[in-house]
Structure 1
Amino acid sequence: MNVVAIGGGTGLSSLLRGLKKEVGERIKNLSAIVTVADSGGSTGRLRKAYHLPAPGDIRNCITALSESEEVMQQLFQYRFKGEELEGHAFGNLFLVALSDITGSFMTAIKIASQILRTKGDIIPATLDNIHLCAEFSDGKIVVGEEEITNYGKEKKARIKKIWIEPENTLTPIEAIGRIESADMIVFGPGSLYTSIIPNLLIKDIRQAVERSNALKVFVVNAMTQPGETDGFTAYDHLATFLEHSGIKKVDTVIVNTKMPSNSILKRYLEEGQEPVIPDIAKIAKEGFNVFAEDLIGDKEDFVRHDPDRLADLLMRVYYNYALLS
């Protein structure tokens, strides 16, 4: 089958690590459509200097899908220390240099993917230098992905509306083709307002998803995110995604039911994050198919979906859907 994952951040790269193991087995073609609206850190500085789409999430996805030697993966994620290069990731600089040499950000991604031998294709949501904008419940309009999250944290304000500028931005034809030929489209996990929804704010992507006959799956985050989804339940994540993305419906919702250990939970609570309440019945009453399982890892110091568990569940979700279709 053909699988398309749409999102960004650590959530998407974690998902891809699990799905790549199915490529050549249960997955024929795997494609990641990645947000390029990031404005923070190394990515933000390079965007301002070179007026390119954000390379950071692209870099993470290339590494996640890589089958190259571990040293190459470490090299791509390496961050410089000191003076002007402080905080820059080697992979970001590599993509920017390739873009400058070839004259094409898309070509740079393809070359980097060949070098790191990725088991799947990484496609930026757009090749335009877009900016994410949000209006908050206090009336303030904030521009920039990092700035939006920081404002929400500082002012404890809710995001009321979110959009991209320019609003008429286009998406690569490769992305449209992959969506239209997909058997399953996966949204999330990841930052709801700043990694997942921005992709669907691009009209071409949103319309392609709406036209697609693929099984559409929404993966709910395991933890809330300060400045974006404070206090959100699983149902709140789903309802917000549908409201702001413009997607009329999804077929299946995946919810984590496992609580993190007390020591890890205490640290997250101190940082203003809490487990997302799995209000499964409320989602089911709205007519969605719900798969609720223990999906977070056991050994990590961070609460995130275990790549293998999530990938295995997605395979079971698809084949269950295929049997009933």
Structure 2
Amino acid sequence: MRLVAIGGGTGLSTLLRGLKEKVGKDIEDLSAIVTVADSGGSTGRLRKIYNMPAPGDIRNCIVALSESEEIMQKLFQFRFKGGELEGHAFGNLFLVALTEITGSFMNAINIASQILRTKGEIIPATLESIQLCAEFSDGKIICGEEDITEYGKHDSVRIKNIWIEPREARAPIDAIAKIESADMIVFGPGSLYTSIIPNLLIQDIREAVNHSLAVKVFVVNAMTQPGETDSFTAYDHIKAFKEYTGIERIDVAVVNTKMPSSSVLKRYLEQKQEPVVPDVARIAKEGIEVYTEDLIGDKDDFVRHDPHRLADLIVEIYKKHGVFS
């Protein structure tokens, strides 16, 4: 199958780590369309200086799909300590340098992908320097991905509307071509408002997805995120996604049912994060087929989808639904 994954952050890179093992077997062509609206940390500082799309999530996806030696992967993720380079990731600086040399962010991504021997294509959602903006329930308008999440942590506010500036930002033609030829499109996991939704706020991506006959799969997060999805159930994630993006059809929802260990859960609860309630019946009533599995990894320090279990399930879903695409 030809698979397109759309998202950003650690969620998308986790998914890609599992899917790359299927390339050349169940997956004929793998592409990732990645948000470039990030405004925090090293990425945010570089964006201000060079007026370019955010490189951070792109870097993480390159590493996730990489077949290069471990030392090269570590090099790309290395962060400097001290001095003017404090906090900068080497991979971010590498992408900035390549962009300056070649005159193209897309060329920079392609060259970096060749160096790290990625098993798939990584495409930014846009080549423009976009800003994510949100209106909250108290009427406050906040711009900047990092600032939106921080402001959302106020107990009394919720995101009421979200958009990108410039609103007319366009996607690379490569992204549209991949969507048009896809057999399956996967959204998530990842930060709902700041990693997944921003991609679909780009008009031609949204229109291409809506016109596509591909099987459309939404992977629901395992935990809520402070400032974005506090108290959200699995159904709430899908409802908000469809409402703010205008995506008309989701065929399949993937919902985790495994609870983290008590010690890990306690730490997450202290950070105001809780397991996403798997209200499967509400999702099914929307005509969406739901796959419930124990999908989070067995490590004791954090809660994330296990990349291999998730990839296996994605392939299983396609084998059942792909014939109809």
TM-score tier by shorter-chain length is over 0.9
Structure-2 separation of matches of 1:204 and 1:324: 24
Distance 1:66 1:138 in 2: 44
- Mark the runs of 5 or more structure 2 residues left unpaired by the alignment: none
Residues 1:46 and 2:46 aligned together: yes
Tell me if structure 1 keeps the 8 A contact 2:261–2:300.
no
Structure 1 stretches of 4+ with a deviation exceeding 2 A read 322-325
Using the TM superposition, give the Cα deviation of residue 154 of structure 1 relative to its aligned residue in structure 2, in angstroms. 3.5
Give the TM-score normalised by structure 2.
Answer: 0.99
- How many pairs does the alignment contain? 325
Alignment correspondent of 1:304: 304
Residue in 1 that maps onto 2:184: 184
Amino acid paired to 2:7: G
Q: CA deviation at 1:207?
A: 0.4
Alignment of 1:1-325 (within 5 A): 1-154=1-154, 156-322=156-322
CA distance in 1, matches of 2:295, 2:100: 41
Instruction: Tell me the amino acid that sits aligned with residue 227 of structure 2.
Output: G
SS of structure 2 residue aligned to 1:3: strand
Letter in 2 for 1:180: E
Residues 283-318 of structure 1 deviation map (CA, whole Å, 9 limit, x = unaligned) = 111211100110000124110100000000000001
Give, in whole Å, the separation in 1 of the partners of 2:143 and 2:323.
45
* Contiguous gaps of at least 5 residues in structure 1: none
Letter matched to residue 201 of structure 1:
L
2:253 and 2:289 in contact (8 A); partners too: yes
Question: Deviation per CA, 1:133-185, whole angstroms, max 9, x where unpaired?
Answer: 00000000000000000001135410000000000001100000000000000
Q: Could you tell me the TM-score, scaled by structure 1's length?
A: 0.99
C-alpha distance in structure 2 between counterparts of 1:300 and 1:124, whole Å:
33
Structure 1 vs Structure 2 CA RMSD: 0.9
Verify the 8 A CA contact 1:135 1:141 in the aligned structure 2. yes
The DSSP-based 3-state class of the residue aligned with 1:154 is: coil
CA distance in 2, matches of 1:285, 1:203: 28
Counterpart contact for 1:156–1:227, Cα < 8 Å: no
Q: Displacement of 1:19 after TM fit?
A: 0.2
Contact 2:224 2:232 in 1 (8 A): yes
* CA–CA separation in structure 2 for the residues paired with 1:294 and 1:20: 21
Contact 1:258–1:295 at 8 Å: present in 2 too? yes
